[in-house]
Structure 1
Amino acid sequence: MTWARTRLSTRLMNVCLAALCRGGGLARAESVLVDAIRLGMPPDVVTYNTLLAAHCRASGLDAGFAVLRRMREAGVSPDAVTYNSLIAGAARGGLTMRALDLFDEMLQAGVAPDAWSYNALMHCLFRSGHPEDAYRVFADMAEKGVAPCATTYNTLLDGLFRFGHATNAYRMFRYLQRTGLPVGIVTYNTMINGLCKSGKVGYARMVLRELGRTEHAPNIVTYTTVMKCCFTYGRFDQGLETFLSLLDGGYIPDLFPYCTVISALVKKGRMEEANTYSELMIRSGFSLDSACYNTLIYLRFQEGKLDDAFELLSMMEEGGLESDEYTFSILVNGLSKMGHFEAAHKQLCYMEIRDMESNIVAYNCLVDALCKSDEVDAAIKLLHNMKLKDDFTYTSLVHGLCKVGRYHMASKFLRICLREGNSVLASAKRAVIAGLRSAGFQNDVRKVRAALRMARLLKP
């Protein structure tokens, strides 16, 4: 009777620890364990597995090994669940060799791997760029008679897509359907996401239609994946149709789909529709985050509504949200396109004051606008103040200098660009060489061609 009460107490303690760990109360869980041991409730393998998995997720693999040492000191032997948690921890940290060593240690300890052991190891190998080894693990799984589960096939499908084998993934999916193997919503989402990223939009939409005829209801992940894919590959009407399906089905739990469709509408110049959905987003009852405000500010600049854009900026900051580098890039780009160069430069200064390192996009926007307005000297001065330059910076400047006939200066910046390991668009290179020839600067033509050849030789 005493033994039964002790076992019941340990089970209740394990339930309590699991709840605390899921809720992020790891320190409290450790405290409960200490109190339980003091009261005579001995921890078992489930107790330590619960803590080990939580420590691995929170602090990494070394924290998991610390629990494993405590477990062994208490005379509790690790089981398959213990090793599965450690292998998963190694996978999250990208520690492929540690994951393989743990699997070998598991075998040497006489602990039989289960489907989750193989799944975790395959996932790790795929993520670290070793697909052939992952396939061998799957073959070993079949050889040992361990039955694969839905997660096994989802891991394989994801790995096939990751390494460009979309056709093989599609064939495996059809094989799963034909043989009656598990095909749930996660499998459908994996297929739709993989097909979209592979550019096979038609196949992705076909799988989506098939999903609609099954017992598994499409979820927000499904629709959002297809919508983003359609916009990325120019299937605009299909992307909008997918968004409307989200609305009709009541599948929008956050603001991301709204921001995605509004941005796509703005890029297509369909401002009236973009405004309609922005108003719907505001009325939806969700609290707007920085990404939403950035989308709305961008929309107002595209419409030329400068005052409205800055009013939104004020609302954003009054609501306790800070402007980020994306906000400033939108402001600089909008002000530059409207010809307010001084105001755009002030925004760059604000970025510098706030020590934002990712400001190259904002600088490039102003450089490009200055060059298009023939203000190339101002663009050159700005370029000298830039800590980082990229291909776009030099392409804008070279095109701008060629536009005003300053081919000698354009060739100088082109050579500087190449020496720094950057490049410019082919059109800019052609413009420089053609301009130098027309101006009779044959020596500069030879210098540019030599710099281009050297850049090709040094290119990794």
Structure 2
Amino acid sequence: MVRSRAQLALSTRLMNVGLAALCRGGWLDRAESVLVDAIRLGLPPDVVAYNTLLAAHCRVAGLDAGLAVVHRMREAGVRPDAVTYNSLITVADRSGLTVRALDLFDEMLRSGVAPDSWSYNALMHCLFRSGHPEHAYRVFADMAEKGVAPCATTYNTLLDGLFKAGHATNAYRMFRYLERAGLPVGIVTYNTIINGLCKSGKVGYARMVLKELGRTEHAPNAVTYTTVMKCCFRYGRFEQGLETFLSLLEGGYISDAFPYTTVISALVKKGRMQEANTYCELMIQSGSTFDNACYNTLIHLRCQEGKLDDAFELLNMMEEGGLESDEYTFSILVNGLCKMGQIEAAEKQVWSMEMMGMQSNVVAYNCFIDALCKSHEVDAAIKVLHSMKLKDNFTYTSLVHGLCKVGRYHMASKFLRICLHEGNNVLASAKRAVISGLRSAGFKNDLRKVRSALYIARLLRS
């Protein structure tokens, strides 16, 4: 029986809906089977069907898998369109393949496929991401010359790219131009400009834009407020950060525990424990689901207060809730135990950490080594250092200081030279302690070696 064109069109649309559902569900094999069955039944897939499969293959297996689908398209006599190339350019961008993205855009033009705004957006994002802002600006200019109308995503990409390229002032001017020209400025645009201003250290401008947003039809969301709040805390504008949090709370924009953990951490750093506890109670009363970050924040607070029993009770609650300790958890506990002089308990936490395969947790090891050195257990500290997979400046600084305090200047000079040879460094006070100790002890040969190592290290860094 010969099908009419209307029947074929309906069947193709239904098949495309089915393919899209299978691809969204991650059932690529079934989607491929549907395509094969359709061809056998005399229902040739159209460009929409192939684009659906292409996008799914790109998500799962990357660019080469997507190009394989394009090859099949051409064999079937289906011509790739703008959507096809947009998917390929996007996955090339995500994979950091800037040259491939540019080649695909050129191929698109040579094939006679007209780029749309999404094509230009993907290419601009790729160029900004790879550190070529000047080329991204040219793409935008080319877009205007070709008469392709920019969309909101285009301007958001430009704003984000300008900030990342260090042109915060130009991004801010462009934002004001968008407002004056009546161009699309939605919540994503506001979040982009606020985030960019915050990361550029322009906290006052960010707060001004936030206030302006409150007077528009676009309601600020949790992302907006949290971005400004974190920025205020980072740049020492503590009271403004708390004010922003209260606005977030009063506006009903808090949907999870993250804003609470941010403000509690900031209060703990300031030593304002009573207020931190108040916000802890608010977080618990909010009924938010606790994740590792929440528990870590609460454990850190208890450790700072010296309430180690409460900290370990929280740890038990965390594990009973199906969560596992992460590197930050161990760092907090080891640091808290060391500050209270409980070296043996801290050592047990280090062992537990190692048993869980976290030998790269430099912060926890550094806290432990520092505590051992302050207790004059430098030999034990040296053993810990040798067991570490990664070491940094603080690792060697603690050990060198510790060795100097017990008068072992020869060993201190040895570890200082090892540190410099590995490309690390120590604090100036540790260097002075080693040089002064070697000089007073009469170790002239070691003193010469240390000065030579310091000179070579300065040359390599310059």
**Conservation of the 8 A alpha-carbon contact between 2:360 and 2:390:** no
Mean alpha-carbon deviation: is it higher for 397-406 or for 182-191? Answer: 397-406
The 3 A distance-change label for structure 1 pair 295 and 131 is same
Structure-2 separation of matches of 1:87 and 1:180: 30
Structure-1 separation of matches of 2:18 and 2:215: 41
Report the RMSD for the aligned CA atoms in angstroms: 2.1
**Conservation of the 8 A alpha-carbon contact between 2:360 and 2:389:** no
Please tell me the residue identity of whatever aligns with 1:172.
M
1:168 maps to what in 2?
Answer: 170
Structure-2 separation of matches of 1:348 and 1:195: 40
Structure-1 separation of matches of 2:287 and 2:36: 45
After superposition, residues 170-209 of structure 1 pair within 5 angstroms as 170-209=172-211
Aligned with residue 398 of structure 2, among 396, 399, 402:
396
After superposition, residues 21-40 of structure 1 pair within 5 angstroms as 21-37=23-39, 40=42
TM-score by length of 1: 0.94
Task: Please list the CA deviations of residues 129-166 of structure 1 after superposition, one character each: whole Å capped at 9, or x if unmatched.
Answer: 11121111112112222121111111111111111111
Once the two structures are TM-superposed, the CA of residue 438 in structure 1 deviates from its matched residue by 4.8
Mean alpha-carbon deviation: is it higher for 10-19 or for 69-78? Answer: 10-19
Please tell me the residue identity of whatever aligns with 1:279.
E
Once the two structures are TM-superposed, the CA of residue 64 in structure 1 deviates from its matched residue by 1.2
Gaps of 5+ in 2: none
1:317 and 2:352 matched: no
Once the two structures are TM-superposed, the CA of residue 20 in structure 1 deviates from its matched residue by 3.9
Mean alpha-carbon deviation: is it higher for 78-87 or for 385-394? Answer: 385-394
1:274 maps to what in 2?
Answer: 276
1:156 maps to what in 2?
Answer: 158
Structure-1 separation of matches of 2:100 and 2:459: 39
2:5 maps to what in 1?
Answer: 3
1:248 maps to what in 2?
Answer: 250
Please tell me the residue identity of whatever aligns with 2:259.
P
Please tell me the residue identity of whatever aligns with 1:276.
T
Structure-1 separation of matches of 2:412 and 2:40: 79
1:112 maps to what in 2?
Answer: 114
Once the two structures are TM-superposed, the CA of residue 391 in structure 1 deviates from its matched residue by 0.5
Say which SS state the counterpart of residue 336 (structure 1) adopts.
Answer: helix
Please tell me the residue identity of whatever aligns with 2:237.
R
TM-score by length of 2: 0.94
1:131 maps to what in 2?
Answer: 133
1:379 maps to what in 2?
Answer: 381
Say which SS state the counterpart of residue 96 (structure 2) adopts.
Answer: coil
Please tell me the residue identity of whatever aligns with 1:378.
A
The 3 A distance-change label for structure 1 pair 251 and 379 is same
Please tell me the residue identity of whatever aligns with 2:4.
T
Mean alpha-carbon deviation: is it higher for 229-238 or for 95-104? Answer: 229-238
Structure-2 separation of matches of 1:41 and 1:268: 69
**Conservation of the 8 A alpha-carbon contact between 2:372 and 2:378:** yes
Percent identity (aligned):
83
1:93 and 2:86 matched: no
Spell out structure 1 runs of 4+ moving beyond 6 A: none
Structure-2 separation of matches of 1:195 and 1:111: 38
Structure-2 separation of matches of 1:39 and 1:303: 73
The 3 A distance-change label for structure 1 pair 266 and 145 is same
Structure-2 separation of matches of 1:362 and 1:47: 53
Structure-1 separation of matches of 2:275 and 2:36: 61
**Conservation of the 8 A alpha-carbon contact between 2:280 and 2:298:** yes
Aligned with residue 64 of structure 2, among 37, 62, 65:
62
Aligned with residue 237 of structure 1, among 236, 239, 243:
239
Mean alpha-carbon deviation: is it higher for 313-322 or for 13-22? Answer: 13-22
Task: Please list the CA deviations of residues 99-150 of structure 1 after superposition, one character each: whole Å capped at 9, or x if unmatched.
Answer: 1111111111100111111110111111111112111111211222212111
Aligned with residue 339 of structure 1, among 338, 341, 354:
341
Structure-1 separation of matches of 2:24 and 2:288: 26
